[in-house]
């Protein structure tokens, strides 16, 4: 009986607190309206550069009088995204889609190329993307028609687009697409605009080489970056974002190496290593352990 009395008393106190909370807390603000499923935006200050976003993925396309250069179909698990992408292009121009260029070989960015191929596009990707996709044989992800080694320049209808392989980073097949006149790059998944790389971003990745690739990308002439996932508030990336990502990775690598040398990889390094000067990056708490785990694999096991 004594226990029951105690429970009743506690229940009364909790209920009392809930009532007080209800009286003093304002009603929550209504949630902002959900963004539309997809959207096409012309990049400010350009004549012909667009971003097509579908949910949380996006791709660049360039419209010229001689045809369109499209990139990444972003249709993994949703073929309707590529259909919408092609329809959006057709609203802007009657010119043919001449190219579809893959940023790297991961399905979430390059599955769904069929509507582009059907429209006559030539699919271009880094040579390792082609090699991998030939082996993987994913039904939704078309194998590129043409492969790029270190560099290729595409000129179409007065627009120049340079494709640069700046080394292995988040994948071993990432192409940086540079519009030299506009000083814009389209670069996917290896620079995350103030965010700690996610579990999926480090799952297929190359420590050390990733840093070198960021340095090489920073030697190219650009000042704005279109990312493969929308930045905070939909903003484009900056060189400062890439410099921050590089600084984060340099310190991560150095701290994890120390932990590895002390025999602490994988545990307790994943719990002990922390980078306080980067703790304000987005997703730091959520993803720092995945990053430590990946770099522990590198320094501790040669993986």
234-263 binders of Zn ion (CB under 5 A): none
Nearest distance from C-beta of residue 107 to Zn ion, angstroms: 9
- Residue from 72, 162, 189, 211 that binds Zn ion (CB under 5 A)? 189
CB atoms within 10 A of CB 147: 16
Instruction: Name the residue among 245, 259, 248 with its Cα closest to residue 298.
Output: 259
**Stretch touching Zn ion by CB under 5 A, among 37-45, 124-132, 182-190, 286-294:** 182-190
Nearest distance from C-beta of residue 285 to Zn ion, angstroms: 22
For the four alpha carbons of 74, 80, 86 and 90, in that order, the dihedral sign comes to negative
Nearest distance from C-beta of residue 198 to Zn ion, angstroms: 10
With both helix axes pointing from N to C terminus, report the angle between 284-301 and 239-261 in degrees, rounded to the nearest 10.
Answer: 50
Instruction: Name the residue among 95, 125, 97 with its Cα closest to residue 111.
Output: 125
- Residue from 106, 114, 224, 264 that binds Zn ion (CB under 5 A)? 106
Binding-site size, Zn ion (CB under 5 A): 2
**Stretch touching Zn ion by CB under 5 A, among 92-100, 102-110, 210-218, 245-253:** 102-110
**Stretch touching Zn ion by CB under 5 A, among 93-101, 147-155, 183-191, 233-241:** 183-191
Pairing of strands 97-101, 67-71: parallel
* Paired tokens of 167: 């080394």
Nearest distance from C-beta of residue 260 to Zn ion, angstroms: 26
Query: Is residue 72 at the binding interface for Zn ion, with CB under 5 A as the rule?
Result: no
Nearest distance from C-beta of residue 275 to Zn ion, angstroms: 23
* Paired tokens of 115: 């509507």
Nearest distance from C-beta of residue 261 to Zn ion, angstroms: 30
CB atoms within 10 A of CB 2: 5
Nearer to Zn ion, 57 or 106 (CB): 106
Nearer to Zn ion, 249 or 273 (CB): 249
Nearest distance from C-beta of residue 228 to Zn ion, angstroms: 7
Which residues lie below 8 Å from residue 243, measured CB to CB, with a gap of 6+? 218
* Paired tokens of 91: 């609203």
Cis link prior to 127 (omega < 30° from 0)?
A: no
CA distance 162 to 165: 10
**Stretch touching Zn ion by CB under 5 A, among 147-155, 188-196, 253-261, 277-285:** 188-196
Nearer to Zn ion, 67 or 206 (CB): 206
Q: Which positions touch Zn ion (CB under 5 A)?
A: 106, 189
């Amino acid at each position: 009986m004594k226990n029951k009395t105690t429970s009743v008393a506690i229940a009364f106190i909790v209920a009392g607190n809930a009532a007080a909370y209800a009286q003093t807390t304002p009603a929550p603000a209504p949630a902002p309206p959900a963004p539309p499923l997809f959207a096409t935006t012309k990049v400010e200050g350009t004549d012909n550069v667009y971003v097509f976003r579908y949910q949380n993925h996006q791709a660049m396309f360039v419209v010229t009088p001689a045809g369109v250069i499209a990139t990444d179909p972003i249709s993994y698990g949703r073929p309707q995204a590529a259909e919408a992408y092609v329809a959006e292009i057709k609203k802007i121009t009657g010119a043919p889609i001449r190219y579809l260029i893959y940023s790297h070989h991961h399905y979430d960015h390059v599955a769904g190329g069929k509507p582009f191929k059907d429209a006559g596009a030539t699919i271009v990707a880094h040579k390792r993307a082609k090699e991998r996709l030939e082996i993987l044989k994913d039904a939704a992800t078309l194998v590129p028609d043409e492969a790029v080694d270190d560099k290729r320049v595409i000129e179409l209808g007065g627009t120049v687009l340079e494709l640069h392989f700046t080394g292995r980073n988040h994948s071993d097949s990432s192409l940086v697409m540079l519009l030299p006149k506009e000083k814009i790059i389209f670069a996917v998944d290896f620079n995350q605009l103030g965010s700690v790389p996610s579990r999926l971003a480090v799952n297929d990745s190359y420590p050390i080489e990733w840093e070198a690739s960021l340095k090489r990308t920073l030697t190219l002439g650009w000042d704005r970056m279109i990312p493969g996932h929308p930045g905070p508030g939909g903003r484009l990336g900056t060189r400062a974002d890439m410099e921050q990502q590089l600084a984060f990775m340099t310190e991560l690598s150095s701290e994890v190496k120390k932990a590895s040398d002390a025999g602490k990889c994988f545990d307790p390094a994943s719990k002990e290593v922390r980078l306080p000067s980067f703790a304000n990056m987005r997703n730091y708490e959520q993803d720092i352990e995945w990053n430590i785990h990946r770099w522990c694999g590198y320094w501790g096991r040669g993986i």
